[in-house]
Structure 1
């Protein structure tokens, strides 16, 4: 179980470190080609989403790695699930139902990470 958790958590962490870092560091114009929804969402909210993605990535890896407050990995996974639910809502509201496949995949991976993280409790 631990090996599967680390595979899922590492993949999610890398993806969320990248995506969250972009949302925190890049301008609206730089984000627009890949994330058209940034025009409808205020930039402070985009930055907040990026920060939450970074915290989620760290929360998936650091607690199980150190053995300290391992329940935070479950909380991080739940937070990432909520971020993806929000992403799906935004895409559907924009009529972009064809692009929610990635969101659904990330949501399922975060659910799996949360479930697998219970092995440390």
Structure 2
């Protein structure tokens, strides 16, 4: 089970750091590739990107380093909340494809949270 949790943590952590980095540091590229970014304020997009980067780091580093490992399941819960809010947001915009991905990410984040608590 530990190996499975590490695989999920690494995949989720890497994905969130990459997607969050694009929103935070490559705003114009995010604006081209994600329709919702065009309709949102730059501050909101930067906030979401920063939250995703911190969540992705929080999924891996605390548990890997053994320094405050309780932060890993808390980061997973935070990511699940972000993705649940994203699913609601995309649902209001009728972006059904994005909702499916959000639901998968919520499930994976909850698996990590439950497994690491």
- TM band (smaller chain): over 0.9
Measured in 1, the distance between the counterparts of 2:53 and 2:97 equals 26
Q: Specify the SS of the correspondent of 1:69.
A: coil
By how many angstroms is 1:34 displaced? Answer: 2.3
Are 1:106 and 2:97 counterparts? Answer: no
Counting only pairs closer than 5 Å after superposition, residues 10-89 of structure 1 correspond to structure 2 as 10-27=10-27, 29-89=28-88
Q: Secondary structure at the match of 2:104?
A: helix
1:14 Cα deviation after fit: 1.0
TM-score, length basis structure 1:
0.90
Q: Tell me, yes or no, if the aligned pair for 1:37 and 1:90 is still in contact at 8 Å.
A: no
Using the TM superposition, give the Cα deviation of residue 107 of structure 1 relative to its aligned residue in structure 2, in angstroms: 0.8
**SS class of match (2:32):** coil
Offset at residue 32 of structure 1 (A): 2.6
> How many residues of Structure 1 are paired with residues of Structure 2 in the alignment?
117
- The structure with higher relative contact order (CA 8 Å, sep 6+) is 1
Aligned-pair RMSD on alpha carbons?
1.2
Runs of 4+ in structure 1 over 2 Å off: none
Any idea what SS the aligned residue of 2:33 has? coil
Instruction: After TM superposition, give the deviation of residue 105 of structure 1 in Å.
Output: 0.7
